[in-house]
Chains A and B, each alone.
Chain A
Amino acid sequence: MSEFQDAFVQAARLLGRADPELLEIIALSLRVSLTALVLACAVGLPMGAALGVFRFPGRRAAVTLLNALMGLPPVVLGLALYLVLSRSGPLGFLGLLFTPTAMILAQWLLVIPIVAALTRQVVEDLHEEWEEEFRSLGAGRLRSLFELLYEARFQLATATLAGFGRAIAEVGAVLIVGGNIAHVTRVMTTAIAMETNKGELSLALALGIVLVALSFLINAGLVAVQELGRVARG
């Protein structure tokens, strides 16, 4: 168990003296994952809400596909995205491989199904409850959709967090399309994988502790904002 002790000591030491390389990696991790998350929400929330409210042919298949994509292994997506972004691939001319943009793209694609599928579930349940009320009031589809999204905001916050969790913890895809290049595309998870491969187990674990602490802070921050919102309203 001495590795764990070492890891905690190292984690504290790294954070304590604000190791510049560590800070750079944390900043890049946050930038990549949060950008991916915001973009994924921009697509996933409306997509999920539309699937929850509208009825159209192929909807059931779309829902099943979305649910299945939640379990897509990041490595598979990373590989597919690599082949697309590679210089020999269809989008190679963009020169995006081994850039943070490619990593954002990968995480964006990984997070969309999570946000969309969870949103679909929440909104569909709510829509079932509210459908008659909306019809009675003569609220249009889009109005209903907007109201339901706002009504589901707390559940959607949870869906968003789940998406963030997937993004920040993901290693397979960003390793392939990012390349783990120092100072350019090295994020928490790829650094952890690299240190593990170097046999620097306690350093890797220390980075892992920092990652968990970071996720914890972000989650706690969101909960605090929610509580503030409730107090202000109630």
Chain B
Amino acid sequence: MSASRGRSGEAGRHRCGPALVVVALAGLLGSAAAGPAVAAEAAPYIVLASTTSTRDSGLLDWLIPAFRARTGIDVRVVAVGTGRAIRLAERGDADVLLVHHRPSEEAFVRAGHGVERFEVMWNDFVVAGPREDPAGVRGLSDVAVALARIARGGHLFVSRGDESGTHKKEMELWRAAGIDPHRDWGAGPGAYRETGTGMGATLNVASELGAYVLVDRGTWISFRNRGALDLLVVGDPLLRNPYGVILVHPARHPHVKAELGQRFIDWLLSDAGQARIAAFRLEGEVLFHPVRDVDPPAAPGASSRRIGSP
């Protein structure tokens, strides 16, 4: 009797805080549930620094499983703007770079950060804008003329403003149009706006404001929140957007998985890889064009896997 009382008296001391119990249990559950992710870490993999356009369009989700099926190598994609992707690679935080701004890519290789640049494919940019098209650029085949009209008319234009490949391309196009967007704006400053964010976020802003915007076709097709935006200018050769792939130089960063990375590059440039790119469709449209002519296999409706897709 007295012994049992004694124990109950001491229980108060040893009873753990309920918070700790919950936390510990949840921690165990969480760790157990995350088993698959842990297992995946064991497979050989490379880190690919690329752009949001290749990931969000679903292209990489279309290419990587095919590559993995052939080689057993997984590709972990860190998708950021071209500028940040290049800086990641410069610091040695990626094995392979897949981006779309040739001058920056060439500078990257010249500086010894990359082994060699190979052109893999191209897609194109388009100019989207408000459906009512106050600048009257719809259907123009000369993008420089279209941009000049938008600027002179002082219409709203939303720019990435983030040193991404798209932003750098946009700057090229302004130069071609003979316009300095920060100075030569009809209604004065304020109508040319820089978001400093990714393509999607910028499109969200453009859609909200009813502004003109330069966007890569892939992001445009897969973008769900177009609102009152329409596709207005397409097809000018100036709007072509080549993608280059570069192996980060193992001499500069010894930990780089040069062999695995090279196999990924080789596969992208191979007939199989090029055919796979050509076969990619987003909502029935061709997005990326391989640099070499390959016979696209009878396209089995390619699609990107995303959360919630059946």
Direct A/B contact, Cβ within 8 angstroms: yes
Interfacial residues, chain A to chain B (CB-CB below 8 A):
10, 13-14, 19, 21-28, 30-31, 33-35, 37-38, 41, 86-89, 92-93, 95, 97-100, 150, 153, 156-157, 160-161, 164, 179-184, 191, 194-201, 203, 206-207, 218, 221-222, 225-226, 228-229
Nearest-neighbour CB distance to chain B for A185, whole angstroms, equals 8
The 9 A-B residue pairs with the shortest CB-CB distance in the complex, in nearest-first order: A197-B200, A87-B92, A157-B19, A30-B30, A199-B225, A27-B33, A31-B34, A179-B78, A153-B17
Contacts of B17 in A (CB 8 A): 150, 153, 156-157
B255 on the A face (CB < 8 A): yes
Contact of A87 among B56, B203, B253 (CB under 8 A): B253
Q: Given contacts A97-B93, A203-B308, could you give 9 more A-B pairs where the C-beta distance is less than 8 Å? A: A30-B26, A34-B26, A86-B92, A100-B34, A184-B76, A197-B201, A198-B224, A203-B307, A229-B18
Asked whether A198 and B78 contact (CB < 8 A) given A19-B307, A225-B21, the answer is no
B40 on the A face (CB < 8 A): yes
B204 on the A face (CB < 8 A): yes
B307 and A153 within 8 A (CB): no
Contacts of A183 in B (CB 8 A): 36-37, 40
B52 on the A face (CB < 8 A): yes
Contact of B23 among A19, A34, A100 (CB under 8 A): A34
A37 and B201 within 8 A (CB): no
Contacts of A88 in B (CB 8 A): 91-93
A199 and B93 within 8 A (CB): no
B307 and A195 within 8 A (CB): yes
Nearest-neighbour CB distance to chain A for B281, whole angstroms, equals 18
Q: Please, could you name 30 A-B residue pairs with CB atoms under 8 Å apart, sorted by A?
A: A10-B308, A13-B308, A14-B308, A21-B305, A25-B307, A27-B30, A27-B34, A28-B34, A38-B24, A41-B20, A86-B93, A89-B91, A97-B93, A98-B93, A99-B41, A153-B17, A153-B18, A157-B18, A160-B23, A181-B78, A182-B77, A184-B40, A195-B307, A197-B204, A198-B219, A200-B225, A222-B19, A226-B18, A229-B15, A229-B18
A180 and B27 within 8 A (CB): no
Chain B 217-246 interface 0/1 with A at a Cβ cutoff of 8 Å (1 = within): 001001111100000000000000000000
Closest to B15 in A: A229
Bound complex: CA of A197 vs CA of B53, how far in Å? 11
Contacts of B30 in A (CB 8 A): 27, 30-31, 33-35
Contact of A196 among B31, B93, B201 (CB under 8 A): B201
Nearest-neighbour CB distance to chain B for A73, whole angstroms, equals 16
Asked whether A207 and B307 contact (CB < 8 A) given A182-B77, A218-B26, A222-B18, the answer is yes
Nearest-neighbour CB distance to chain A for B56, whole angstroms, equals 5
Asked whether A86 and B78 contact (CB < 8 A) given A31-B34, A34-B30, A218-B26, the answer is no
Bound complex: CA of A147 vs CA of B23, how far in Å? 21
Number of A-B contacts (CB under 8 A): 158
Interfacial residues, chain B to chain A (CB-CB below 8 A):
13, 15, 17-24, 26-27, 29-31, 33-34, 36-37, 40-41, 47, 52, 56, 61, 76-79, 91-93, 197-201, 203-204, 207, 219, 222-226, 253, 255, 305-308
Asked whether A196 and B34 contact (CB < 8 A) given A34-B23, A156-B19, the answer is no
Contacts of A225 in B (CB 8 A): 18-19, 21-22
Bound complex: CA of A28 vs CA of B76, how far in Å? 16
Contacts of B37 in A (CB 8 A): 24, 27-28, 31, 100, 183-184
B76 and A98 within 8 A (CB): yes
Contacts of B41 in A (CB 8 A): 99, 184
A180 and B19 within 8 A (CB): no
Nearest-neighbour CB distance to chain B for A144, whole angstroms, equals 14
Nearest-neighbour CB distance to chain B for A219, whole angstroms, equals 10
B76 and A87 within 8 A (CB): no
Closest to A158 in B: B19
Nearest-neighbour CB distance to chain B for A193, whole angstroms, equals 9
Contact of A22 among B24, B201, B307 (CB under 8 A): B307
Bound complex: CA of A99 vs CA of B204, how far in Å? 30
A21 and B223 within 8 A (CB): no
A199 and B224 within 8 A (CB): yes
Contacts of A22 in B (CB 8 A): 307-308
A86 and B307 within 8 A (CB): no
Contact of A37 among B23, B197, B253, B306 (CB under 8 A): B23
Contacts of A92 in B (CB 8 A): 92
Closest to B25 in A: A221
Contacts of A218 in B (CB 8 A): 22, 26
Contacts of A194 in B (CB 8 A): 56
Nearest-neighbour CB distance to chain B for A140, whole angstroms, equals 16
Contacts of A37 in B (CB 8 A): 23, 27
Nearest-neighbour CB distance to chain A for B52, whole angstroms, equals 7
Closest to B307 in A: A21
Bound complex: CA of A191 vs CA of B93, how far in Å? 21
For B31, B197, B308, the residue with the greatest tally of chain A CB atoms inside 10 Å of its CB is B308
